[in-house]
Homo-oligomer: A and B are copies of this chain.
Amino acid sequence: MSITVVGSVAYDSIETPAGRRERCLGGAATYFALAASFFTDVRVIAVVGEDFGPEQEAVFKARDIDTRGIEHAPGKCFLWEGSYLDNINEAKTHLTELNVFACFEPKIPAAYADSDFLFLANIDPVLQRRVREAMPKVKLVAGDTMNYWIKDHRPALLEVLRGLDVLLINDTEARMLAENSNLVKAARAVMAMGPRHLVIKHGEYGATLFQGAGKGTGKGKESENTFRAPALPLEEVIDPTGAGDSFAGGFFGYLASQAEQTADDFRHAMFYGSVMGSFACERFGTERLQELTRGEIDERFGVFRELTHLA
């Protein structure tokens, strides 16, 4: 089944301890779409500028990603400049130029209307809501957000959360959104805002899936509907940009590839998310995702399984 994703397609200038790259193709929708494309059909809604040409288009085409929803506008693409010199796990933003993104009005091609899955990448919650409302028939809606929207656009964000089935955020965002430092209590509070499934990402420590009550396994309160997936201990993180979006792409792409979305599918999806996040870090920008094969993904899935497997 196909996924429509709305989000940024952008350029990133990135500096990490491993080096520096100017104007890599990036953006949440780009990473998400590339990662998800290994599992299912993906359709992108975004806006780009005149500096997005055939070379960039080819990155999507090589993965059979539908780009009919990528609007070409006068001006330049969204640009982000950041570094990870002090802490490889935390980006320091040096510059953000919204450019064509400043006036983004998502337009949904008619051909996207039969999508069963919708991913609202991290953009203005007002836009997320508009896309959500324009696609009322989707089966499962997932979304992402960030500290900026949580802090300064809370009412609009809360509207979006009410319409989400799955929210994927990191620890800091979960604690900030719930205004509670305990992760279990924070998870419960966030799920009360709408999403029945909550994925909290812990960076190099993996991610936890929390799921709403009513599906008791009889295994005790603490574990009920809770699942922890590891991250791969990586010897070298070249560039963590897009790791979270790649996680989301692997996670949601795998779910969309399954006939139903069972509890077991969600667990596997957590692993596939971790797998795609780990690949994203191995090279600058989308380099690693562009040359990846499904065989490598399945091999690494086995590595992850082994990493937590108890005989």
User: Which residues of A come within 8 Å of B, CB atoms?
Assistant: 88, 181-185, 187, 202, 204-206, 208, 210, 217, 219-223, 226-230, 232-237, 264, 267-268, 271, 299-300, 302-311
Would you give the shortest CB distance from A141 to chain B, in whole angstroms? Answer: 25
- Contact present for B184 and A223 (CB under 8 Å): no
Would you give the shortest CB distance from A128 to chain B, in whole angstroms? Answer: 27
Task: Specify the main secondary structure of chain A where it touches its partner.
Answer: mixed
- Contact present for B208 and A206 (CB under 8 Å): no
- Contact present for B310 and A268 (CB under 8 Å): yes
- Contact present for A230 and B233 (CB under 8 Å): no
Closest to A299 in B: B220
- Chain B positions within 8 Å of A228 at CB level: 206, 230, 233, 307-308
Closest to A301 in B: B310
- Contact present for B181 and A88 (CB under 8 Å): yes
Q: Do A183 and B204 form a contact, CB below 8 Å, given A226-B233, A227-B307?
A: yes
Which of A210, A223, A234 has most B Cβ within 10 Å? A223
- Chain B positions within 8 Å of A229 at CB level: 308
- Chain B positions within 8 Å of A204 at CB level: 183
The answer, among B219, B232, B233, B311, for a CB contact under 8 Å with A306, is B219
- Contact present for B299 and A305 (CB under 8 Å): no
Which of A182, A205, A227, A264 has most B Cβ within 10 Å? A205
- Chain B positions within 8 Å of A208 at CB level: 233
Would you give the shortest CB distance from A286 to chain B, in whole angstroms? Answer: 21
- Chain B positions within 8 Å of A227 at CB level: 307-308
Closest to A263 in B: B311
Show 16 A/B contacts (Cβ-Cβ < 8 Å), sorted by A.
A88-B181, A88-B182, A182-B235, A182-B237, A205-B206, A217-B306, A219-B302, A220-B300, A221-B235, A223-B303, A227-B308, A228-B307, A228-B308, A264-B311, A267-B309, A268-B310
Q: How far is the CA of A230 from the CA of B205 in the complex (A)?
A: 9
* With A182-B237, A228-B230 already in contact, 18 other A-B pairs whose C-beta atoms are closer than 8 Å: A88-B181, A182-B234, A182-B236, A205-B205, A206-B206, A219-B302, A219-B303, A220-B302, A222-B232, A222-B235, A223-B232, A223-B306, A226-B307, A228-B233, A230-B308, A267-B309, A267-B311, A268-B310
